[in-house]
Amino acid sequence: MNANNSGSASVSGIAIVLGLAAHQVFRKYETYNINVHAAILFAPPVLLTLFADSTQRTLVRALLANLATYLTTLVLSLLVYRVSPIHPLARYPGPIGCKLSKFWMGFACISGFQHRYIKSLHERYGDVVRIGPNELSIRDSTVLNALLGTSGLPKGPHFVGRLLTDTRLPMVGIQDTEMHLRRRKNWNRGMSSAALREYELFIAKRARQLVDRLEEHKSTVTAIGNWFNYFAYDFMSDMAFGGGSELLEAGHDQGNVWALLEEAMFIATFFGHMPWLGMYFGKIPAATGNLMVLVNACAERTTARLKRGSEKKDLFHYLNNEDLPDKAAPPVQHLVDDGILAIIAGADTASIALTSIIYCLLTHPGAYARLQAEIDRFYPAGEDALDPKHHRDMSYLTAIINETLRLFPPVPGGSQRYVPHDAKAVVVGNIVLPPGTSVWPHVYSHHLDPRSFAPYTAEFWPERWLLASGDLSLSPSDPAARGLSPASPEFRHDEAGFIPFSIGPMNCVGKTLAMQEMRMVLCAVLQKFRIRMEDGWDSKTYEAN
């Protein structure tokens, strides 16, 4: 009996040692290969049982005991290490739930207000906050160039979870910087000045259609945000695929396109916090709901466009090297992956920005009146509001857009970056980033940092952009601007902290297109209509949703 107990204790001791060893493997080597995960999680206790127990009668019981000991040791070792002072990120404060598991932040995103939660963490803990076992959120404009600039960090792994794959990633999610920049070359041609002039025709066509459809509903209450959804999706379909969507014509969410997109983005955000889990669920049919439906729909549209060939100089005219007939076309899978990016990154963000601008104007009548006066001056009745020739001179329009993007950035989390496991630690200012660390330069927190934007940091005040540039043509009548000048000590305007499109060589490739889209649509809509809130509508519900 004593011998049996001694033998059992010995086997349990070995299972504990194996569990501790497995922790070191997971800590030093990152993989999303499910077979590798299964081998590390189950092979050691199985082999231990087979070698230590020879009788069939006790084999199952011994296996369960060894498996329980091994996995318990592994989990406890992980959790204790993550909150211990020897962890490489131990010096950085944060909630204990964030330190223990990324599930904490995954569940925090369910409310839809993850950006506000992270901002509150910065207000509580400071400029560097630990939001995951190996993840930091940073709010410090002085280090943004080092993190995101030419010599900045590679992209992080969250797109693996968002798209449920570590191999079929769109350009924006590729972690290898050299490969990312190679894939981006076609995008750069597709967003060149010459290409954008072609896309202006697409914007103008859909903006005219938007105005016509709004004209039909001008005597009734209508949700303008829905119409911006339809416009954005139709335009992106034209621009990326040469057509294929007619939501404006239908006047409703035909095919539940936006319901599908919104649900898919919610699921993608959750799995983005746990890429390994996204890989697992991606193998289970229907387990990820509409996320895979959206991905497959985008893939089908890309495939159809490639088969159809170039009818217009759309985005795929450049992505598929159709503008370079002597150059071979990229692999079809690359194009399919980038087709997903075109719809997801283009339609949703533009619609959010346009809707937020209208909200800000309706809740700030003074700003609305000043913008209306500027549009009426440059585009009086009868003038083509879709001709962009005056945009460079419309300083208040630019200020309105910038201020809205500051308060309501369509991508409030920003661009995740990563220090590879096989790299050396990265030192940025007084921040030390050990290998295996993911970093978020948190956009929303930077934009609402009073060290970068003051006064009225949390308020909509577009005059700050005029004041900063020395253009006071519209601000003297603004009571909030009285006594202020760019040299005033209470006035702070650090555009290094303004990053709605990120910065550096891996920033948003569609920035110029997005600005052009917003300018053209706003000029067209506000030249034609005077918009007001529905009687009784509580404007606070916009930010609450």
Q: What angle do CA 530, 534, 538 make, to 5 degrees?
A: 125
What's the token pair of residue 332?
């079809």
Name the residue type at position 415. Answer: S
Find out whether 191 and 239 touch, Cβ atoms under 8 Å: no
CB atoms within 10 A of CB 53: 20
What's the token pair of residue 337?
């992956």
Half-sphere exposure of 68 (CA within 13 A, CB side): 6
Is 298 marked within a binding site?
A: no
**Beta carbons within 8 Å of 428's beta carbon, 6+ residues apart:** 143, 146, 147
DSSP 262-291: HHHHHHHHHHHT-HHHHHHHTTSTTTTTHH
* Kind and range of the H or E run holding 132: strand 128-132
Q: How far apart are CA 330 and CA 39, in angstroms?
A: 35
3-class secondary structure, 437: coil
* Kind and range of the H or E run holding 340: helix 332-362
3-class secondary structure, 136: strand
* Kind and range of the H or E run holding 137: strand 135-138
How far is the CA of 369 from the CAs of 222, 242, 366, 526, in angstroms?
21, 37, 5, 11
Count the residues in the chain: 545
**Bridge partners for 130 per DSSP:** 136
Task: List the beta strands (DSSP E) in 413-472.
Answer: 417-418, 426-428, 431-433, 438-441, 453-454
Binding-site annotation: residue ranges: 508
Binding-site annotation: residue ranges for heme: 508
